[in-house]
Structure 1
């Protein structure tokens, strides 16, 4: 494995160094000066551990506590390496999906073969040979399509095997190396982890649908050719679709407003919902029953969960309000720009999309900010050049920031420092209208779900921000369109059970069984 070798081929590999160096010393003793007994520092200019009492000339050098710095680096390395676990889990659900579709293809093939044999009973004896030729041709077409899926399964399985080995070996190096080696090698290890992440295979963009034309009416008295009786077989390719099942669809009777503008996860599989920008906030269960209703006294553009409560963005009042578990406002943070979509990262900070005007003007500058709700400190991420008019935001399992920007027609993924990692502009020619991203959410595998309002669908992206497929209800599977089964979707969230809630422009909510 690349990270286990030093750049000098004559030197032993990193594992050998870890095992043999100072073998008779306890790890804590290796960090102390043999002469003075003091904890050692690390000198970045000399690239080695030092004792300030032994070597006074390091006073002008950049030095740090050896233990503190190695602890910080180890934590960072473990966080980065742990991302591979999420990619392994994601790869497993992709291979399951591929195998599931192979089974579906085989079932469809069997049905078509059975139908052809039934139709063959209406043929003359001399025409039966046509049936054997047709069946062989169809089988050949099927085998070709199946081979593509099988090869993709193998590709993901190879990635999983490689990533598991890499994860175990890298974690062993991180845990067993002494502090000096960890500091010296950490950049090399981080580069190797990134290379492993980027090796994640692309998903198939299309999948085949088998079609056999209907049998004509043979009782009309007209002459019908044998091939017309058997029908014409075709294999059409459609964009890859990810099957979901409808659990329920509703709009509470007391709700007269149109458009579900924003939602977020509640508790006990319930969801907080805002219709028509509030000011009412509703807690609903999957039966469509309203369990709680809160009058926030202001228009609401975004809502998200925070520790022991909720946060809302008020675009008219230009503020973020924090609510406790009783939905009482306990803090209000005033902003200069208009806050739109909000979401909480792993450290409890609120990520905020900020724009100058609700409808963009020529010289407007949009930003993404982090709000520390304990101290009130606001941090602007250096990503304004990548933004036009950001409207919604989510944070994935790797703590990456996913931003939808409808004016730009893009979904962008940034790290927590604001460095862009990827940009998704739609799958290409498979949609009728231009990609118009609205709400965005991430699932437990790191997949990004993006509502595409104008194309009436939801895009699913892989953890690296690349197209994986469209969500589609099981009732729409045999159709060739990408329509997911609910029109004009506008907002989306995932409840505590992992089920998907989609709100549309007409005020209806659809609850879908997702990733069962």
Structure 2
């Protein structure tokens, strides 16, 4: 074995690799023998620091100053964020700056590097690999999913073709039956006429003979045949094809939902461990009343919708029909009065478009209006249907829930402008999704996951369907505190996907998650009604409801002309609350 690499051999010089080492250069981190020290120090480009090998590491390894190559940096400037030497410190450049020990700073930097490296190696890189694997798996599933989707559409097409073929077969069968009947009638008449022709000919011969031989034996023969001288006319049937309405055909054929793209941030895999009591969807707090704003008469059902965090539209149903815009201090900023020709119409609901314009429904006029320049412009005119609630969806479409005037059916219709795009009325088994109770109040909203949520007052339930109109769940839970049935007036959603329902008979706000699981009640808010008597420890008959971008809850009450602002999700910046509520 080569003695230089034997475990029993002495340590050798790193330069000549033969002689026994005696010294160590702490700048270059190499071992040197006595003969190689002079050669190593001959390199004047660096300020070498050669010490006896036994004293290796005893001298601090200070970095060379980046501004003075012949000096070592002994301190670290926290303001300029780099090491400095004594010459740098004596200059005015770092006057007043915070200086720390360079070796301590170096040790801190190394720890940061180790932590960063650990996070990259142990957390980030594996998570990115995991996400990449998930994408590859999703790509593998893509072909199969779209194949099944195509097969479903093709199958539906085949069903339609079969139904059309059945209709054509039925119609052609009827045509054949009518043809046979028509032919039979003509043949019967032809047979009778032929018989009559034969008898007429015989009569002609007889009359000629009588005329020549014995005219006194004459008896009229034409009277007999005159009675049968008629022709049965059978009109030909005709086929009147109906014009094909491709838009209605598309709706009847089936609704193909669009691709929904959501970005899921995987902070749970990247952050430090959190407090286990924190809520993923927003940490709950004891609800706190932030403000109470007077918006109108004591008696009235007020709908509300947020224009911004500081401005809220209100409307009084079945009363003055004036839509008012309030700021957060209760000051009226704008007021929309209906024109004389619309006076007396009940403006049921309203919402704000992406461009900040107001959309409202007029139930008795069977219309949906757009407010532009303080004037009402008719956007949608319905036939035999009355609109209740309207929602401006994230895509810019309008979602309108309406009931029929005659047979009391209810449906949700999606509009792009004034063009009908989608109708939601039946489930997969052709059962009605919504109640048929006439003149029952209904409200609609869209959740952040594009679910369509309906508060169906006719059935005392909440109905939630997905973007394609397929039923996800129904909610009818009765609060244990009252035992009354759910009385759902208003409905809204917040930034966490919670569904909030104003439950009038139970005097509370019910909160669900986006899958219909009950989370909590908000009630017992020790408020005072403006019409004289106290409503002790409760929200009294809540009606209108909306949530701003900061998840502040706004509620109106049927018997109180006030709008209350309530905080129900923890906000670290909000610490000065002046009235607390209890959770029932």
Structure 1 residues 435 and 18 mapped into 2: Cα distance closer, same or farther (>3 Å)?
closer
2:302 aligned residue: 261
Q: Which of 327, 330, 338 is the aligned partner of 1:296?
A: 338
**Map of 2:548 onto structure 1:** 495
Distance 1:282 1:461 in 2: 30
Alignment partner for residue 325 of structure 2, among 280, 283, 290?
A: 283
The number of residue pairs the alignment matches comes to 298
Structure 2 residue 559 is matched with structure 1 residue 508: no
Give CA deviations for 1:57-107 in whole Å, capped at 9, x if unaligned. Answer: xxxxxxxxxxxxxxxx9x83644xx4x66998xxxxxx98x93xxxxxxxx
Write out aligned runs for 1:43-122 (5 A).
76=259, 78-79=261-262, 82=263, 99=277
Q: Partners in 2 of 1:46 and 1:391 — Cα distance?
A: 36
Structure 1 equivalent of residue 370 of structure 2:
322
C-alpha contact (below 8 Å) 1:243/1:474 kept by paired residues: no
SS in 2 for 1:76: coil
Report matched runs for 1:97-246 at 5 Å: 99=277, 243-246=286-289
Contact 2:526 2:537 in 1 (8 A): no
SS of 2:419's equivalent? coil
> How far apart, CA to CA, are the structure 2 residues paired with 1:469 and 1:16?
35
Unaligned ranges ≥5, structure 1: 1-13, 22-41, 48-72, 89-94, 100-152, 161-199, 204-240, 477-482
Q: What is the SS of the residue equivalent to 2:259?
A: helix
Instruction: Determine the structure 2 residue equivalent to 1:207.
Output: none
Deviations 1:471-499 (A, max 9, x none): 146769xxxxxx97321111111234432
Of 513, 517, 522, the match for 1:471: 522
Query: Alpha carbons of 1:469 and 1:327: their partners in 2 closer, same or farther (altered >3 Å)?
Result: same
SS of the aligned residue for 2:459 comes to coil
1:491 and 1:502 in contact (8 A); partners too: yes
SS of equivalent residue, structure 1 residue 511: strand
CA contact (8 A) 1:470 1:484 kept: no
What is the distance in 1 between the residues matched to 2:321 and 2:350?
A: 12
Are residues 248 and 15 of structure 1, via their aligned partners in 2, closer, same or farther at CA, if it must alter by over 3 Å? Answer: closer
Distance 1:438 1:18, change over 3 A: closer
CA distance in 1, matches of 2:367, 2:266: 35
Is the aligned partner of 1:406 residue 2:406? no
Deviation at 1:505, TM superposition (A): 0.8
- Distance in structure 2 (CA, Å) of the matches to 1:417 and 1:44: 17
- Assess, with a 3 A threshold, how the Cα gap between structure 1 residues 87 and 287 changes in structure 2: closer, same or farther: farther
Q: Distance in 1 between matches of 2:397 and 2:297?
A: 35
Measured on the aligned residues, the alpha-carbon RMSD in Å equals 3.9
CA distance in 2, matches of 1:251, 1:436: 24
State the partner residue of 2:473: 422
- Post-superposition offset of 1:17: 11
SS across alignment from 1:296: coil
The Cα shift of 1:312 comes to 0.2
Closer, same or farther in 2 for the Cα pair 1:295/1:465, shift >3 Å? same
Q: Where does the alignment leave 5 or more consecutive residues of structure 2 unmatched?
A: 1-131, 140-145, 152-255, 269-273, 340-344, 528-535, 572-584
Higher relative contact order (CA 8 A, sep 6+): 1
- Does residue 351 of the first structure (1) align with residue 405 of the second (2)? no
Q: Using the alignment, how far apart are the partners of 2:302 and 2:353 within structure 1?
A: 19
TM-score using structure 2 length: 0.45
- Shift, 1:276, TM fit: 3.2
Give the distance between the partners of 1:414 and 1:501, measured in 2 at CA: 25
The answer for the alignment partner of 1:367 in structure 2 is: 411
Distance 1:473 1:513, change over 3 A: farther
| Distance change in 2, residues 1:442/1:262 (3 Å) | same
- Name the structure 1 match of 2:104: none
How many Å separate the matches in 1 of 2:353 and 2:396? 7
Q: Which of 299, 316, 333 is the matching residue for 2:380?
A: 333
> Which moved further from structure 2: 442-451 or 289-298?
289-298
Q: Is the CA contact (8 Å cut-off) linking 2:386 and 2:403 kept in structure 1?
A: yes
Q: Say whether the 8 Å CA contact 2:413–2:420 is kept in structure 1.
A: no
8 Å Cα contact 2:425-2:434 kept in structure 1: no
Contact 2:526 2:539 in 1 (8 A): no
Residue 508 of structure 1: SS of its match in structure 2?
Answer: strand
Distance 2:399 2:150 in 1: 40
Taking a change above 3 Å as real, the CA distance of residues 87 and 372 of structure 1, as seen in their structure-2 partners, is farther
Query: Matched residues in 2 for 1:45 and 1:300: separation?
Result: 42
> CA 1:86/1:257 → structure 2, altered by over 3 Å: closer, same or farther?
farther
> In structure 1, how many angstroms separate the alpha carbons of the residues matched to 2:369 and 2:350?
10
Question: In structure 2, what is the Cα distance between the partners aligned to 1:76 and 1:449?
Answer: 27
> Secondary structure at 1:301's aligned position in 2?
strand
TM-score for both structures, normalised by structure 1: 0.51
Q: Partner residue of 1:307? A: 354
Residue pair 2:363, 2:387 contacting (<8 A) in 1 also: yes
User: Judging changes above 3 Å, is the alpha-carbon distance between structure 1 residues 87 and 440 closer, same or farther for their aligned structure 2 residues?
Assistant: farther
* Equivalent position of 2:192 in the other structure: none
In structure 1, the residue matched to 2:505 is: 454
| Conservation of the 8 A alpha-carbon contact between 1:424 and 1:465 | yes
Does the CA-based 8 Å contact 2:336-2:375 persist in structure 1? no
Query: How has the CA–CA distance of structure 1 residues 450 and 45 changed in structure 2, closer, same or farther, with 3 Å as cutoff?
Result: closer
For residues 149 and 306 of structure 2, the distance between their equivalents in structure 1, rounded to whole angstroms, comes to 49
**1:455 to partner: Cα distance:** 0.7
Q: Can you list the C-alpha shifts for 1:414-450, whole angstroms capped at 9, x where unaligned? A: 1121101111111464433111111000001000000
**Cα separation, partners in 2 of 1:327 and 1:415, compared to 1, 3 Å:** farther
CA contact (8 A) 2:351 2:359 kept: yes
Contact 2:490/2:501 (8 A) holds in 1: yes
